[in-house]
Structure 1
Amino acid sequence: MSTTPKIAIIGAGPAGLTLGAILQKHNISFTIYDSDSSPNERNQGGTLDLHPRGGQAALVEAGLWKEFTKYARPESDVLKIVKNDGEVLWDGNTTDKREVPEEEKFANRPEIDRSALKEILLGAVKPESIRWGKHLKEAIAGQSGKYDLHFADGSIDKDFDLLVGADGAWSKIRKLLSDTLPTYSGISLIECWTYDVVKENPWMAEYAGAGSCYSFGEGRTIQIQRIGDGSVRTYACLRKPESFLKDCGIDWTNPGPAKEQYVKEYFDDCGADLKRMILESKDKLVPRTLYQLPVGFSWESRPGVTLIGDAAHLMTPFGGVGVNAAMMDSLSLAQEVVKFVERGEGKSLAEVVKQYEVDMFPRGEMFAKKTMDNMQKHFSAGGSEHLAGRLIAHYRKPASTS
């Protein structure tokens, strides 16, 4: 029987919380540190789909499947594809409306709000295992092979056997393993919110549909998501230099005029309905610049420290796989730790870390390649036609007679 290592997880996002939830199920102690002062300090983002062999598998391992089915939205696993000029090429809201048996509702990729996923995971981790308001300043390796955590508030927590970086794009833990930093992806965007669309603007609810609406074209995309809380988020994205949002001459602190100028200068030839989705999203405006790690990013294994999620393989959202990849990391690492602690498999914690990384590196590279390929297609002429063609071929193929 192996001695349980002292484990620190940096970051209480989907990756860190999933790892914690699985470890807790096996009575393996850990501490999660997060810089936010509370679980709800920041908005958690929009919606995402969880794949059966990705996020869903991790939730099953954590014993959270029933909770997931309470909040997941299988009805939102639907796409609408529109050309930049407004022509609707595919609308899954009106196509293939066959009744799905109850046992198959979660067989594909049901949507779930990021906020709901976080609540599910938080409910599976003991509150005393999470320390909020702990902004990591530096992680330092000691001579004994253990690690000390130095926080911005002046406190130091010492002697960790396993340090897991789930601390996102600008990970402090990554510095122990590599000097590589994320680089600009080439894509900048504005994120526009509108609340309670059914009540406040029913037209937006009807146009967006139950799931996601995409419009792809040369150098730009418009992507629209229905959220489980009744809101809609519209993302108007451009392929531009890194300093674009700062240098374009648009005052982002004045949302109404800012959106009008942005649409007029960069989306004026788009369909009227697409422009309307941007302009009538009046509740919040967030400019964003997207970064990524290199495809195939890896590091030389180091005993007692590793990375999961965005810290290990930061990607743009155009592959739709980021959270699934993160939760698969958590599942894989948790399984290795459980084998080590409960069954004594593996001679050392260093072997636990190395085996996890051997499994994770090719998986992360596969997802990163998929994301890069999708991004190139989405921001190219004919991007909408390409995706619509794939959907038409899939849904209209003859049923098997075997």
Structure 2
Amino acid sequence: MSSSIPNIAIIGAGPGGLTLAAILQRNSIPFTVYDLDASPHGRNQGGTLDLHPQGGQLALRAAGLWDEFVKYARPESDVMKVVTPAGKVLWDGNGPNARVVEAGKEYDHRPEIDREKLKKILLEAVEGSRIKWGKKLLEVKEAGEGSYDLVFGDGETERGFDLVVGADGAWSKVRKVLSDEMPFYSGISGVEFWADNADEKHPFVSEFVGAGSMFSFDEGRAIQAQRLGSGTIRTYGNVRVPENFFKECGIDWEKKDQARNEFVERYFGDCADVLKRLLMESGDDLVLRTLYMLPVGFKWEEKRGVTLLGDAAHLMTPFAGVGVNAAMWDGLDLASGIVESVKGGKPLDVVVKEYETEMFSRGEKFAQKTMRGLKGHFSAHGNGHFVERLKGGE
């Protein structure tokens, strides 16, 4: 190994930051991860996601975590169901449209994995002492000669970093060093409804959604449901509304049962009974979501010693299902460059610039795909277009 080993700080222990950390550790390159959460289990990790062969799966292989992924992945949930607002089933991957998968090729498409399990896999691959929890980053300060100090909310300052990687999500503090650009409201807000232990407690929800995900698109609104490996089904009622919707819509969100009734009746009251029932019977919890994004094609001028990955670099709405895959791909590419620098002697500045050039191009393509998904999901023709994509093998 080269004697020139950079002092690396990774801000954020999400999928992208942990992918970078896991690959660096596998190559015996030191780093420190700082995360806002008080502990690894400081907050709910969200629902399920599909990992693409050329995205998340590739990154896990590079981190030596493929066998662990196989333990928790759910290729059987890589199925989709599409229902019109009137209740007509246009596509059902659980039945006549089921994809035939040859033995040994279960992971060739996009198997599902719960976000919680993905984080578990990545955390277990990173030495615990390398992650500092409960660290709220306030500022990244230039310290001269390409070095940076990190100022945290607990009053501590960590000094002398040669590379600061912002994997700190939508409202990234690291991004402020590189750009004044901030996320803007996507036009979409949603309510997330939970049906815990669906097979036993909510049999209708379980049967209606099926083994994977269910979608129903319409002008200005969409219903999406997904099954988690934990047995929970989460259903999202998303609507095109102003940014201040949750504060000014007149619904008292503290009274969750009443709020669910009002929201469903107001925005999905003319939908088929099966869709309303799906929302109404998913009453174990209710979470509000306001969706933000960065401009398609967002870039920044190269700055020595600082870069971004994942949502900090290309925040998107979830309407193409590529966000985590993009973040893990970023982590893989940046890690590969750092390994090349440390072990092969290539200047760190050069590999970071190469990473950014490739990431800008890839991120823009993903963002464009997501914008098409956003427009399609909230259009009167969204169901038909989505089914055509499924018929084409997407």
Q: TM-score range by the shorter chain?
A: over 0.9
Deviations 1:280-336 (A, max 9, x none): 111110111100000000000101100000000000000100000000000000000
Asked whether the equivalents of residues 162 and 305 of structure 2 are also in contact (C-alpha less than 8 Å), the reply is yes
User: Does 1:106 pair with 2:92?
Assistant: no
| Mapping of residues 1-400 of structure 1, within 5 Å | 1-97=2-98, 100-345=101-346, 348-392=347-391, 394=393
Deviations 1:99-148 (A, max 9, x none): 53331011100000000000000010000000011111111011232000
SS in 2 for 1:375: helix
Amino acid at match of 2:157: I
Asked whether the equivalents of residues 90 and 392 of structure 1 are also in contact (C-alpha less than 8 Å), the reply is no
Separation in 2 of the partners of 1:355 and 1:117?
Answer: 28
Separation in 2 of the partners of 1:372 and 1:96?
Answer: 27
SS in 1 for 2:307: strand
Amino acid at match of 1:90: W
TM-aligned CA deviation for residue 79 of structure 1: 0.3
Separation in 1 of the partners of 2:393 and 2:7?
Answer: 49
SS in 1 for 2:217: strand
SS in 1 for 2:33: strand
Separation in 1 of the partners of 2:326 and 2:292?
Answer: 17
SS in 1 for 2:207: helix
Amino acid at match of 2:388: G
Percent identical residues:
58
Asked whether the equivalents of residues 79 and 98 of structure 2 are also in contact (C-alpha less than 8 Å), the reply is no
Separation in 1 of the partners of 2:43 and 2:96?
Answer: 37
Deviations 1:187-209 (A, max 9, x none): 01000111001111111110010
Deviations 1:329-348 (A, max 9, x none): 00000000000001112xx3
Q: Which runs of 5+ in 1 are unaligned?
A: 396-402
SS in 1 for 2:288: strand
TM-aligned CA deviation for residue 351 of structure 1: 1.3
TM-score scaled by length of structure 1: 0.96
RMSD: 1.1
Change (3 A) 1:14 1:252: same
TM-aligned CA deviation for residue 352 of structure 1: 1.9
TM-aligned CA deviation for residue 154 of structure 1: 0.3
TM-score scaled by length of structure 2: 0.98
Separation in 1 of the partners of 2:246 and 2:183?
Answer: 18
Deviations 1:146-170 (A, max 9, x none): 0000110100100000000000000
Moved more, 131-140 or 97-106: 97-106
